[in-house]
Structure 1
Amino acid sequence: MKPVFVYGVMFLIMLSGCDRSPKSGHGFRLPDGDINRGQVVFVKFECNRCHSVGAIEQLTSASPESSVSVKLGGKVTAIQTYGQLVTSIVNPSHRLVGRYPKEQVSTADGESLMRNYNDEMTVTQLINLVAFLQSNYELRPYQGPRDHLY
């Protein structure tokens, strides 16, 4: 009797993850972008002032506040989804990068240091930028432990 109850609870928890409330992102998808144009957008908006990606040279700044170098792309064990990349651009304070000291990537009140581009960047530029960023990620298969426990 207990396993049936446990499986039932697990099913209900999984089902609750299929939220289709008015704020759900279900069904949201922008058109495919152009990688080359996205690279132009990356440089035009000076994203390389604080981010390094692929072969694009990191800009250096005279101001010490801009000394952050947040690496994007490369070989990773989990690819950033389309939605995560869009969210990171239009709402950079949504989730701050945990692998950097908080004072390097946020203000004293926890807001991201990343400039808000929502009133400057067109939707087409956003689409192309996301296509460019996604093209720079390479999935590295998980190797797992080399020692066998059995």
Structure 2
Amino acid sequence: MNSRFLLFPFMLTVALLACNSGPEAPRGFSLPEGDVAKGEAVFRKYQCLGCHSLEGFEDPDITKEFSRPVMLGGDSSRVKTYAELVTSVINPSHKLVPRAIKLESVVNEDGTSKMRVYNDVMTISELIDLVAFLQPKYQVKPMQYTHYNIYHIP
């Protein structure tokens, strides 16, 4: 009977390890460190403000594509990882935030993102620098928990 209790944790561990192995596992993926100043230049070069907004950045000469631009940066309840930002640029339809899906102006009829795909235009160096520029713009804001008073019954 004792061996059954040991078998379950062992099988669970093997199953979890299997999820991170194989040819499509992200393990081992790493890009070099980017340059924030060059990333800002990339942000301006590709006129990202046409579809996005970013606190502290305005350009009245850029025509806005959407009435409500997609916000970049700001407060988030969790860390916006390097990999998520890279994926958002090279595969914009990978994971759309629920509020973006509600904004019909930023998604196509088939539910894919209207963001232009820059894979054949932007260099890898530009991508790395852009992500280095954007990542610090996200601030993790911890969730506010409701603190209840503990009542003691005498």
TM-score using structure 1 length:
0.83
Greater Cα radius of gyration, structure 1 or 2: 2
Q: 1:20 to 1:8 in 2, by over 3 A?
A: closer
Distance 1:86 1:48 in 2: 18
Q: Which residue of 2 aligns with 1:71?
A: 71
Q: Secondary structure at the match of 1:71?
A: strand
**4+ runs of 1 displaced by more than 6 Å?**
none
Distance 1:143 1:123 in 2: 38
Distance 1:134 1:75 in 2: 12
Instruction: Give deviations 1:78-119, integer Å, cap 9, x for gaps.
Output: 111111110100011111121121522211122210001011
C-alpha contact (below 8 Å) 2:49/2:58 kept by paired residues: yes
Gaps of 5+ in 1: none
1:114 has 2:96 as partner: no
Q: How does 1:25-44 map to 2 (within 5 A)?
A: 25-44=26-45
Q: Secondary structure at the match of 1:39?
A: helix
Q: 1:7 to 1:103 in 2, by over 3 A?
A: same
Q: Which residue of 2 aligns with 1:88?
A: 88
- Deviation at 1:24? 1.6
Gaps of 5+ in 2: none
Distance 1:20 1:34 in 2: 31
Distance 1:88 1:21 in 2: 23
Q: Which residue of 1 aligns with 2:55?
A: 54
Q: 1:144 to 1:4 in 2, by over 3 A?
A: farther
How many residue pairs get matched?
147
Q: 1:68 to 1:13 in 2, by over 3 A?
A: farther
Q: 1:149 to 1:28 in 2, by over 3 A?
A: farther
Q: Which moved more, 1:5-14 or 1:19-28?
A: 5-14
Q: Which residue of 2 aligns with 1:11?
A: 13
User: RMSD across aligned C-alpha pairs, in angstroms?
Assistant: 2.4
TM-score using structure 2 length:
0.81
Distance 1:73 1:58 in 2: 17
Q: Percent identity?
A: 41
